[in-house]
Amino acid sequence: MRGTKTRWVLAAMAAGMLVFTACGSSDSEEADVDTEEHMIEDAKCEPYGVFSDSTTRIDVVLDDWVVDLSQPDAPAGLIGFALDDQSEMPHEFVVVKGVTPTELPLADDGSLDEDALPEGALIGEVEPFPGGETCEGTFELTAGEYTLLCNIVEENDDGTIDVHLKEGMVTTFTVT
Ligand SMILES: [Cu+2]
């Protein structure tokens, strides 16, 4: 799993934005770059895991600015999260174990600093997919407390920045 922060650039139409490297073609990026710039056009559903194999299904609404679960807990197993982005913008779905929302290590902009998480805490993530669409993330989860969040940092045309975590796109989930 990439330990990088997802940074979306909504101002893709602005002059100069074409220099940003698209997802997946990072070979030429320098090793010390720990953020990635994504063009908004790159958002597409790439399911994580095999949803049809899941032992418990949780419906998840992603919206501005919530992560709403159909149930707050599930027995240990292969948990399939059916993600429904009801907003007009891309969101993602990050699964963290054993770190409460208030304990999350933050970058300067208030987003989750994934690289600063304890070893093994980052279970996996469904990368950003377009608003109005659905996607799935299926994770083998053992008993414990989980934090589920969207870690998109989004730069608007006017230079303001929306940090989805800070806006409230985080919730907790218990596996028993
Ligand atoms: Cu989001």
Is 34 a member of any domain? no
What is the SS3 assignment for 107-165?
A: CCCCCECHHHCCCCCEEEEEEEECCCCEEEEEEEECCEEEEEECCCEEECCCCCEEEHH
Between CA 24 and CA 85 the distance in angstroms is 23
Please tell me the predicted confidence (pLDDT) of residue 30.
Answer: 42
Q: What is the pLDDT of residues 8-55, one digit of tens each?
A: 554 433 333 343 434 444 444 444 434 445 555 578 999 999 999 999
Q: Which residue matches tokens 């902009």? A: 109
CATH of residue 91's domain is: 2.60.40.420
Contact yes or no for 147/104 (Cβ under 8 A): yes
Cα of 8 from ligand 1 centre, angstroms: 10
Cα of 84 from ligand 1 centre, angstroms: 12
Average pLDDT of the chain, as a whole number:
84
**DSSP helix/strand/coil, 69:** strand
**DSSP helix/strand/coil, 170:** strand
Number of domains in the chain: 1
Is 137 a member of any domain? yes
Q: 131 lies in which domain range?
A: 42-175
For the entire predicted model, the pTM comes to: 0.80
Cα of 19 from ligand 1 centre, angstroms: 24
Please tell me the predicted confidence (pLDDT) of residue 103.
Answer: 98
Mean pLDDT across 87-92: 95
Cα of 78 from ligand 1 centre, angstroms: 24
Residues with CB under 5 A from ligand 1 (ion): 91, 150, 152, 164, 169
Q: What is the pLDDT of residues 55-88, one digit of tens each?
A: 999 999 999 999 999 999 999 999 999 999 999 9
User: What percentage of the chain has pLDDT greater than the value 70?
Assistant: 77
